[in-house]
Amino acid sequence: MQRKTDRKNLQGEETRIRILEETMRLVISHGYSGTTLSMVRRATGVSASSIYWHFTDKESLIAAALEHAYRTQASRLPNWLDTPPGRVRRDDLYAELIRSPQAGASMDYWRVGLQLAISRPQDPIPARDRFLQIRNESVEWLARWWERTLPEDMEQKSRASIVLGQLTVGIRESEVLNLHESRRLEAKRLNLLIAACLDEIANRTVEIAIEHRLDAAPVRPLQDAKSSPEGSREAFVRAAKDVIMELGYDGVTIARACEKAGLPASSLYWFFKDKDELISTVIEEARRRWASTSQLSHLRPDDGDWSDHVRSYIHPAIVGSESGGVLALGLLLLLQQSDRVYEGRRELELVIQDAYEVTVRWFQEMLSPMSEENERGELARYFTECLFRLLESSLLSRQVDDRPGDPELLADLISTALYRVAKRIQDGTAVLDPIGYPGTSFGHRD
């Protein structure tokens, strides 16, 4: 017969888990700032005293909810390190990528964590700190997987592994930006291509490490200058940006914007009808700045090597020289699910989708003219998707990681890998065909 104490402990743990899961659901729907303990109490039917019995405050509760969501998912997924290395690394990569969780409800907690990670709060937020620890664990775990695949005598193996781990985590994170619904491709073929590119990125990393340092201090993202604004309107816009970077879009209030600007609410209402119009102004600026980024050159080189074109496109995007501090505001917007900023998010998505279609046409022009037009069109779409995933990975890493990769290095790795894989596919030594996998080498013809 079960002892009364055991039953009480079990019921207490069940209550704790219910509180954690409902809290995560609320944060996903309402954001960190918009979630309150009273909302948790109503959603769970648990008394306030019971919530405080388990958690000291809202901050510790949300941190624990993130931890619980991560540990629960991790317990259900295979560990990359548990699988012994196979004969061909890109086969192993494909096998792991295809088993990774896809964007959806199971990854919504990671979206919340990224919002907190990209923000720059003045005071520590336990949930943000905990997510960064969890994310660093993921990078280090994947770095160990990569390290065992690199040459034993490689001098910069540790740093190379971290760079590759960051890119791999970022590839998975690009899913939660949720930009891919309108450009959905066949998952197995896409993962085959991503695996091939990551494998070639690792090869290129080994080549570069022979003559160059991989730990060059990267240029940090440019932030908007703190010079004196031209007028009160600009002061309020700048103040709203600062609040967004600290607390997210859901954290913007008239009182906070006025406090940051050092101006009264009456001045704000002279320029903006309400808080929503102020936020819309910030979003519109982010959209315009993202839309002004450089385009790929449409001139196909005589030797067919278009990697320099891609490199010159990627580098300024990673450095952030065009978008400055607006880069983080844009990423936060893409991660946002609040109805209040939906239209602004949609406008930014349309800008990115337009750039995507332009890039598809560019790849069609760059790929070998010996290929059939239909084949070039299909390959162009897959390579564009792969480029955007790798670029999104680099942009997220740049905003979140303590030691993001050197932009020049990342631009070289991504552009070289894309070109080499495309060349192999077009000369017939590699194919994007998941049929028969596993058991045969990835897309390789002897």
Stated length of the chain: 446
Residue 444 dihedral angles phi and psi, to the nearest 5°: -120, 135
Residue 102 or residue 336, greater confidence: 336
Residue 18 or residue 79, greater confidence: 18
What percent of the chain is predicted at pLDDT more than 70?
A: 83
Joined tokens for residue 28: 């996903």
pLDDT of 81 over the 70 cut: yes
Please, what is the end-to-end C-alpha distance for the chain in angstroms? 66
Listing DSSP states for 266-309 in one string gives: HHHHHH-SSHHHHHHHHHHHHHHHHHTS-----PPPTT---HHH
User: In whole angstroms, what is the distance from residue 176 CA to residue 245 CA?
Assistant: 19
Residue-wise pLDDT for 242-291, tens only, equals 888 887 787 889 999 999 999 999 999 999 999 888 988 888 877 777 77
CATH code of the domain made up of 232-290: 1.10.10.60
User: In whole angstroms, what is the distance from residue 369 CA to residue 291 CA?
Assistant: 30
Q: Where in the chain is the domain with CATH 1.10.357.10?
A: 4-76
User: How does 120-134 read in b/e, with b if 16+ C-beta sit within 10 Å?
Assistant: eeeeebbbbebbbeb
Q: Where in the chain is the domain with CATH 1.10.10.60?
A: 232-290
User: In whole angstroms, what is the distance from residue 318 CA to residue 298 CA?
Assistant: 21
Which residue intervals of 119-176 are DSSP H helices? 126-147, 157-173
User: In whole angstroms, what is the distance from residue 166 CA to residue 336 CA?
Assistant: 23
pLDDT of 223 over the 70 cut: no
Cα dihedral 358, 318, 116, 143 in deg (nearest 10)? 110
Determine the Cα angle at 26 with ends 13 and 169, to 5°: 90
The pLDDT mean for the chain works out to: 82
User: In whole angstroms, what is the distance from residue 383 CA to residue 364 CA?
Assistant: 10
User: How does 389-423 read in b/e, with b if 16+ C-beta sit within 10 Å?
Assistant: bbbbbbbbbbbbbeebbbbbbbbbbbbbbbbbbbb
pLDDT category at 205 given cuts 50, 70, 90 is very high
CATH assignment of 4-76, among 3.30.1330.180, 1.10.357.10, 2.30.30.90, 3.40.50.150: 1.10.357.10
Q: Which residues pair with 444 in a beta bridge?
A: 430
Closest CA to 364 of 354, 353, 375, 356: 375
Residue-wise pLDDT for 110-148, tens only, equals 988 998 898 877 788 899 999 999 999 999 999 999 999
Burial of 105 from C-beta contacts in 10 A (0-12 / 13-18 / 19+): exposed
Look at residue 55 and give its three-state secondary structure: coil
Chain-centre distance for alpha carbon 169: 8
- Neighbour count for residue 178 (Cβ, 10 Å): 17
Among 104-118, 317-331, 346-360, 404-418, name the one with the lowest average pLDDT.
317-331
Closest CA to 278 of 286, 269, 287: 269
pLDDT of 339 over the 80 cut: no
Q: Which amino acid is at 17?
A: I
- 351 touches 330 (CB < 8 A): no
Going 236 to 242 to 247 to 249, the CA torsion angle's sign is positive
